[in-house]
Amino acid sequence: MNNITIAIDGFSSTGKSTLAKQLANHLGYVYVDTGAMYRAVTYFAMQHNLISEDFFDAEGLIKKLPEIKLHFEFNAELGFAEMFLNDVNIENEIRTIDVSRLVSKIAEISEVRAKLVEQQQAMGKNKGIVMDGRDIGTVVFPDAELKLFMTASAHTRAKRRFDELAEKGQLVSYEEVLQNVQERDYIDTHREDSPLVKAEDAIEIDNSTLTKKEQFDLVLDLIHKFF
């Protein structure tokens, strides 16, 4: 099978990254978590006091964008690539609920999107890539051979995210996580630049009642059938 581009889009906590990692490992492809890149820019903005719950200096962030250098490094022990901001590993820092609360505001800024999309397209120019996010099948790789659009009920997703955070020792209530998931869904689907929408040629997968293995097998079947 020739190398293809696999674009996975969908709402927060729909298991996009789990599926993307499984596919990348199985196919020997590169996996890119574009949400991590938006989270990294958010972390940068927080460090430079450009954003908080009630303040956002978008112009200030746009001016500082040239100072932001992002790259991924594969960690063989973890089995996935970690996010680096200006050569510092920030993989743990970007997974906090504080970053989750602010990231969708950062992702509304067109200048931020343009910078990250350019880097994402460069990473995928040789195909053999699985990329997940919100605009991969619509904006980053509109010609991707396989496009998946993942959905699940807000409650299922909040429960998954809550369990993940609890496992990492982060103390947040289920209600807070649910509220965050719903707020991000709203902002992500209503923003002007590259809103989250299902590409016309994407295959929708509702995984509310699927196990990780069932979902992986289903997608692998699709790949074997069509490519």
Q: Annotated binding residue at 12?
A: yes
- Torsion region of 109: left, alpha or beta (phi above 0 gives left; psi -120 to 50 gives alpha): beta
Q: Which of 31, 38, 80, 216 binds ligand C5P (CB under 6 A)?
A: 38
What phi and psi values does residue 82 have, to the nearest 5 degrees? -100, 155
Q: For residue 151, what are the β-bridge partners? A: 206
Residue 124 is labelled as binding a ligand: no
Site string for ligand C5P, 114-133 (x = CB under 6 A): -------------------x
A 10 A CB-CB count for 52 gives 13
Find out whether 11 is annotated in a ligand binding site: yes
Nearer to ligand C5P, 101 or 219 (CB): 101
The reply, when asked if residue 17 is annotated as ligand binding, is yes
Looking from the CA of 4 toward its CB, the CA atoms found within 13 Å total: 16
CB 121 within 8 Å of CB 37: no
Q: How many other C-beta atoms are found inside a 10 Å radius of the C-beta of residue 221?
A: 10
Q: Residue 102 CB: number of other CB atoms within 10 A?
A: 18
CB of 1 to ligand C5P, least distance (A): 26
In the complex with ligand C5P, the residue whose CB is nearer, 47 or 217, is 47
Here's the x/- map for ligand C5P, 184-203, by CB under 6 A: it reads as x---x---------------
Q: Three-class SS of residue 145?
A: coil
DSSP bridge partners of 31: 130
Among 81, 107, 130, 152, binds ligand C5P (CB under 6 A): 107
Interaction between residue 34 and ligand C5P (CB under 6 A):
yes
Query: Minimal distance in Å, beta carbon 137 to ligand C5P?
Result: 10
Using CB under 6 A, which of 15, 22, 35, 40 touches ligand C5P? 35
Annotated binding site for ATP: 10-18
